[in-house]
Structure 1
Amino acid sequence: MPETKGIPSDYDGVMGVPISFLDKYSPEQFEIIWRGGDMEWAENECTFFTPPAKEQQQKHRAANKTWRVQNAYVLNDDGSAQTIYQRIFIRHRHPETKES
């Protein structure tokens, strides 16, 4: 989520939000699951993390000496990795129910 106002009130899954979310964090409303960059959590508990193959890691590191697999990133159209801002992962404690 790029902005806190973009957080859907009826979503019960895990969402990645900017670290600035902590400025508006409400413990009664949201549970903090973890933070981006924690490889142990990502590899053992995160269901949406797929680490890049060693060859891809080497390619990204050759193109950008500061690139690290533990930093959150997206792939550009040309296949190059671009590091994004630090994220924390949250979940609604009591998501609104969707009406049929």
Structure 2
Amino acid sequence: MEECEKAFDAGLLLAALNLVVTIPDVCANIDGTDYRKWCKEYLIELWTMEDNLLDNARLRKKLSESYGEIRYPRYVNYDAIEVPFVNAIPSDYRKTMSVPTTFLDKYNPDQFEIIGTRLELAKPIREVAKAGDRFQSGGRSFYIRTGAHELTRVYDRIVIRAKHHHPQR
């Protein structure tokens, strides 16, 4: 276990997790601690887009209540999908996606590339809004069309793109 802790302290998260995963009998229960639980704290369990839309109850509720349909919405002023929760990041999506800032707690540079934030990437809404559209102004942000003439401003987001294929559940 000491090797796992040294690797983690040195910022070699993948090496630490590899030790825990590849030597489960050794790392499973040392000094009464279940290190598999420790390992899970530092992994994002990613599902495919289809699995998220079918089985992620929290995501389904959010999409249904906020947007009226079970699909990842797209922004009107930037080419990315809205992913409202870190655990709803689709493992099989290769284009840009916008995630909550809490993603940074789980960020792994081997898995994801950070593209930027809403402040630098979002087009000003006045440039893309159609005649008659209603929206909340107040600086650059991402907007989702939630009605025929309704644009909803999204909380602060980070735009990411997957670097390679992630394991699926």
Q: Per the shorter chain, which TM-score range?
A: 0.5 to 0.7
Partner of 2:105: 23
Closer/same/farther in 2, CA of residues 53 and 76 from structure 1, 3 Å limit:
closer
Higher helix share: 2
Q: Which of 147, 151, 157 does residue 77 from structure 1 map onto?
A: 147
Q: Return the letter of the residue paired with 2:143.
A: Y
Please, what is the CA RMSD of the aligned residues? 3.1
1:29-86 CA distance string (max 9 Å, x none): 1110111121xx445xxxxxxx4248567x53xxx4xx13621222332523322111
Higher strand share: 1
Partner of 2:117: 35
Structure 1: runs of 5 or more not aligned = 44-50
Q: Return the letter of the residue paired with 1:7.
A: I
TM-score with structure 2 length normalisation? 0.41
Structure 2: runs of 5 or more not aligned = 1-82
User: Counterparts of 1:11 and 1:73 in 2: how far apart (Å)?
Assistant: 21
User: Counterparts of 2:152 and 2:122 in 1: how far apart (Å)?
Assistant: 19
- How many positions carry a matched residue from both structures? 84
Partner of 2:138: 68
Between the two structures, name the one with larger relative contact order (CA 8 Å, sep ≥ 6). 1
Q: Which of 25, 41, 52 does residue 128 from structure 2 map onto?
A: 52
User: Counterparts of 1:68 and 1:74 in 2: how far apart (Å)?
Assistant: 15
Which consecutive aligned stretches of 4+ in structure 1 deviate over 3 angstroms post-superposition? 53-57
Greater gyration radius: 2
